[in-house]
Amino acid sequence: MMDTKTRAFIAIEVPSELSKPIAELQSLLKKSDAGANWVPAENFHYNLKFFGYLSDSEMKKVIFETRAAVSAAKSFEIEIQDIGAFPSMASPRVIWLGMKKGTAEIKSLAGSLEKAYSRIGIPSEGREFQAHLTLCRLKSNEHKNELMEKVKQKQHINIGSFKVTELVLFKSTLMSGGPVYEPIEKFKLG
């Protein structure tokens, strides 16, 4: 029997009541006509770990290790604030929303997960974790300056806050219209 592979990641889902103001921010940024792939509102999340493709046996280990790693973690508050860019504002490829409140907690959680996953042979990112919610990925330099002007105008925007009570392991299926995310497993925080 073949071991199927599933493209997966673990993340914090953004509640729908905050998706609306984020989508409104995107609408404003889209007016730049920048050559970008915009993340749809139903896909807004803070990624903790992207796994790539996992076999069924690896998936079972990830679920087990995630459950163990989050068992001691407490729920916490995230305040969505500030727009940034990777690799930098001067040379953007990804435009994202950061956070003001919850940074220490999410970094600690991401660190615990990295340690747990390294025990089952999943390599670490190799770079410092930075919590972010992707708004778009630039696919060209077309109207990039116009986009960055709008980003700078809204750089210190405050979207609102929410309580993180669970992590979600998502399956990501690549489709022509962009990835489709389906929850595989949810992990409650204390």
Q: Output b/e per residue, 97-119; b: 16+ Cβ within 10 A.
A: bbbeebeebbeebbebbbebbee
Q: Report the domain count for the chain.
A: 1
pLDDT class for 2, splitting at 50, 70, 90? Answer: low
DSSP 102: S
C-alpha 10/C-alpha 13 separation (Å) is: 10
- Calculate the alpha carbon distances from 130 to 2, 35, 104, 112 in Å: 36, 25, 11, 14
CA 187 to chain centroid, in Å, comes to 16
Q: What is the pLDDT of residue 70?
A: 94
Largest pairwise CA distance in the chain: 55
Q: What is the pLDDT of residue 190?
A: 78
Q: What is the pLDDT of residues 53-107, one digit of tens each?
A: 999 999 999 999 999 999 989 999 999 999 999 999 999 999 999 999 999 999 9
Contact of 65 with 117, CB cutoff 8 Å: yes
Q: To the nearest whole number, what is the mean pLDDT of the chain? A: 94
- C-alpha triplet 55, 116, 66: angle, nearest 5°: 65
Q: What is the pLDDT of residues 124-173, one digit of tens each?
A: 888 889 999 999 999 999 999 999 999 999 999 999 999 999 999 999 99
C-alpha 166/C-alpha 94 separation (Å) is: 26
Q: What is the pLDDT of residue 36?
A: 95
Q: What is the pLDDT of residue 3?
A: 67
Is residue 6's pLDDT more than 90?
yes
Q: What is the pLDDT of residue 128?
A: 87
Residue 113 belongs to a domain with what CATH number? 3.90.1140.10
Q: Provide mean pLDDT across the span 11-36.
A: 96
Domain that holds residue 105: 5-188
If phi > 0 it is left, if psi is from -120 to 50 it is alpha, else beta; for residue 52 that is: left
Contact of 165 with 75, CB cutoff 8 Å: yes
Angle, helices 103-118/56-70, rounded to nearest 10 degrees: 140
CA dihedral (47, 110, 18, 177) in degrees, to 10, reads 10
Is residue 1's pLDDT more than 60?
no
